[in-house]
Amino acid sequence: MNDINLVDLKKGLKEQFDKFQGNINGQGKLAFNEVRKHALQQLEKIQFPTVKDEEWKYTNVQKILKHEFAFDLPSSGKIQEIESYIIPDLDAHRLVFVNGKLSEELSEIGQENGLTVLNIKDAQTQYGELVNEHLSKYAAFEEDAFTALSTAFTAEGAFIKVDKNKIIEKPILIFNFTDSTAANAIAMPRNLVIAEENAQVTVIEDYAAIGDNYGFINSVTEFKVSKNAIVHNYKLQNKSDKNFFIGTTQVHQEGDSHYNNTTITLGGDLVRNNLNILLDGEHCEAFMNGLYLLKDKHHVDNHSMVDHLKPNSYSNELYKGIMDGESKGVFNGKIFVRPDAQKTNAFQENKNILLSDKASIDTKPQLEIWADDVKCSHGATTGALDEEPVFYLRSRGIDEDKAKALLMFAFANDVLERIKSEPFKNHVAKLIGERLKQEI
């Protein structure tokens, strides 16, 4: 196909942006379009990060930028293949995006009182005021090139709103696919989740890919968790080689709210998960759980930040990783406790198992505490799989591979146990079993 236009992200964005502006029709007249323009200007100013940038010291995005990508690449139409990736047994409201475009065919949104699930493009016209109040208000793009890129090219994505006092039991699944069958494909889903006061909701993000060319997802999701609201957010990244993912989850919590994030990463050529949580009220609870299982030359970087602005809040972070082959993991966990945030409780733990000499992890806790009456702790461990338990299991007749798989699964299960959605948990457990090549 010669009508596919591949874009160099370092040089061709301006031209692509002009083209994009020509295609958004009525959207161009909305106030948000000024934000898009501003974001592009900002991106041109700050440029993409290099390893000289402290925040990107261990993750070289040149690996992505050296490729050219097609924007709005049409799906190959392999609907059945795509469908086969959808989590089984999960009764959910479902938005499916292929190369950033909503697939009506694969999506399925039921009617539920107090719940609004829409393509963000439609929300911008139907709920303009509300969207403007929140969209791009939490995920700052001034100093973050990938968020600026997402903001400039904001087109489609999930808009989820749960009304005050509503408990939505059925989870909402946002499934993003890159289909690189025809060419290298980029997608920039932009999601906004608003849980109003005292509301409850579960949002599952799943990212996967098909096709033999390179795929790149640059996603930004903003969560507004209002007073006393409860949000569970699970994020699964099950992509094969030749896939890049940069995702930012930006959370703004009000007082007495609860936000629980579990990020599962099962591979990718380059994956960067940014999770930033602002605890902007008293008695907030934030859970950050992560699991990464890497092999081959996978590179996965988890960056988290929890910012305690007010007193009496609690944050708890547990990230665990198993690295095999020549894979590389990065963990960076920031905890900020501002001067006002007395009686903060903040805990962080990062545990890693290296299965091969060539696998590695760079782990860096970063605690900055300006209040004096706080309880904070952090710990990081890295090592090979313990030999004693392996021998114990073998001495009971279990072969070495199976013994190791059992132990690795047990290690990972600590994180899985923090997932409240059974079908999602079972799905992840099955994927881990497949990775460990054992029935667990």
Partner 1 sequence: MLEIKNLHASIEDKKILNGINLTVKPGEVHAIMGPNGSGKSTLASVLAGREDYEVTEGEVNFIGKDLLDMAAEERAREGLFLAFQYPVEIPGVSNTNFLKTAINEVRKHRGEDPLDAVAFLKLMKEKMKIVNIDQSLMSRSLNEGFSGGEKKRNEIFQMAMLEPKLSILDETDSGLDIDALKIVSNGVNSLKSKDNATIVVTHYQRLLDYIVPDYVHVLYKGRIVKSGTKELALELEEKGYDWIKEEAAV
x/- contact string, 345-384, with partner 1 (CB under 8 A)?
----------------------------------------
Beta bridge partners of 306: 277, 335
Q: How far is the CB of 394 from partner 1 (least distance, A)?
A: 4
- What's the DSSP call for residue 55? G
Q: What is the DSSP letter of 56?
A: G
Q: Residue 247: what are its φ and ψ, rounded to 5°? A: -135, 135
Taking the C-alpha atoms of residue 5 and residue 437, their distance in angstroms, rounded to an integer, is: 40
For residue 199, give the nearest of 232, 228, 159 by alpha carbon.
228
Q: Which region, judged by CB under 8 A, interacts with partner 1, from 69-77, 275-283, 367-375, 388-396?
A: 388-396
Neighbours of 357 (CB within 10 A): 8
- Cβ proximity to partner 1: between 113 and 395 the closer is 395
Residues numbered 396-435 forming contacts with partner 1, rule: CB under 8 A: 396-400, 402-403, 406-407, 409-411, 413-414
Angle, alpha carbons 412-418-424 (nearest 5°): 85
Nearer to partner 1, 354 or 408 (CB): 408
> Cβ 414 to partner 1, closest distance in Å?
7
Q: Which stretch binds partner 1 (CB under 8 A): 13-21, 358-366, 393-401, 419-427?
A: 393-401
Residues 263-322 contacting partner 1, CB under 8 A: none
> Which residue's CB is nearer to partner 1, number 240 or number 413?
413
Supply the minimum distance, in Å, between the C-beta of residue 376 and partner 1: 25
244: closest CA among 214, 219, 220? 214
CB nearer to partner 1: pick between 68 and 414:
414
385 contributes a contact to partner 1 by CB under 8 A? no
Q: Which is nearer to partner 1, 199 or 407 (CB)?
A: 407
Q: Which residues of 182-220 are buried (b: 16+ CB within 10 A; e: fewer)?
A: bbbbbbbbbbbbbbbebbbbbbbbbbbbbbebbbbbbbb
| Using rule CB under 8 A, residue 389 touches partner 1 | yes
Alpha-carbon distances, residue 243 vs 63, 96, 157, 192 (angstroms): 11, 18, 20, 24
Q: Are 44 and 148 in contact (CB under 8 A)?
A: no
Region near partner 1 per CB under 8 A, out of 57-65, 234-242, 270-278, 394-402: 394-402
**Which of 2/395 has CB closer to partner 1?**
395
Query: CA-to-CA distance for 145 and 149, rounded, in angstroms?
Result: 6
Nearer to partner 1, 101 or 404 (CB): 404
Instruction: Tell the smallest beta-carbon distance from residue 288 to partner 1 (Å).
Output: 20
What's the min distance (Å) between Cβ of 319 and partner 1?
A: 16
Nearer to partner 1, 114 or 389 (CB): 389
| Residue closer to partner 1, measured from CB, 54 or 439 | 439
375, 391, 420, 434: which one binds partner 1 (CB under 8 A)? 391
Rounded-to-integer distance, Cα 31 and Cα 58, Å: 38
Instruction: Say how many residues touch partner 1, by CB under 8 A.
Output: 21
Residue with tokens 């409780």: 345
Rounded to the nearest whole angstrom, what is the least distance from the CB of residue 79 to partner 1 in the complex? 38
| DSSP labels, 394-419 | HTTT--HHHHHHHHHHHHHHHHHTT-
CB–CB of 328/358 below 8 Å? no
Choices 73-81, 86-94, 310-318, 390-398; region in contact with partner 1 by CB under 8 A: 390-398
If the CB atoms of residues 400 and 434 are measured against partner 1, the closer one turns out to be: 400
Helix (H, G, I), strand (E, B) or coil at 393: helix
Q: Is 394 in the site for partner 1 (CB under 8 A)?
A: yes
CA 150/CA 110 separation, integer angstroms: 28
Site string for partner 1, 100-139 (x = CB under 8 A): ----------------------------------------
Q: Are 242 and 215 in contact (CB under 8 A)?
A: yes
- Output the smallest distance, CB 400 to partner 1, in A: 7
Task: State the nearest-atom distance from the C-beta of 404 to partner 1, in Å.
Answer: 12
d(CA 289, CA 320) in angstroms, rounded, equals 8
Determine the Cα–Cα distance for residues 306 and 302; give it in Å rounded to an integer: 13
Which residue is listed with tokens 């009617």? Answer: 111
Nearer to partner 1, 25 or 395 (CB): 395
Q: Which residues bind partner 1 (CB under 8 A)?
A: 388-389, 391-400, 402-403, 406-407, 409-411, 413-414
